[in-house]
């Protein structure tokens, strides 16, 4: 079993960005796992998905910069977003 390849060309879109309450993640391929990570590398949220679309509620998150890590069957994509 091979590990997913980290890719530089993103397969995901995050909107709205910046966001106040909810953020929607869409992908061109099926997403398996989503993680939101803060600037210190702490995982703030981790969830399993099996879809090309996901909506996450950010009400409990403090304002700041975060990264969304999306794992698919063959790749990992990381995108930055801002919570206002």
Per-residue pLDDT tens digits for 41-57 = 999 999 999 999 999 99
Give the pLDDT confidence score for residue 8 in this predicted structure: 46
Domain ranges of the chain: 5-83
Looking at domain 5-83, its CATH architecture is Sandwich (2.60)
| d(C-alpha 24, C-alpha 63), whole Å | 17
Give yes or no for a contact between 65 and 41, defined as CB atoms under 8 angstroms apart. no
pLDDT tens figures, 69-84: 999 988 899 999 999 9
pLDDT tens figures, 14-33: 999 999 999 999 999 999 99
Paired tokens of 37? 């990570």
CA dihedral sign, ordered 24, 30, 32, 35: negative
């Amino acid at each position: 079993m091979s590990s997913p390849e980290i890719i530089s060309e993103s397969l995901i879109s995050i909107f709205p960005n910046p966001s106040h309450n909810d953020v929607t993640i869409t992908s061109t391929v099926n997403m398996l796992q989503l993680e939101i990570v803060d600037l210190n590398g702490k995982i703030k949220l981790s969830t399993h998905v099996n879809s090309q679309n996901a909506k996450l509620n950010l009400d409990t998150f403090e304002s700041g910069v975060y990264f969304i890590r999306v794992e698919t069957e063959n790749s990992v994509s990381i995108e930055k977003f801002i919570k206002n």
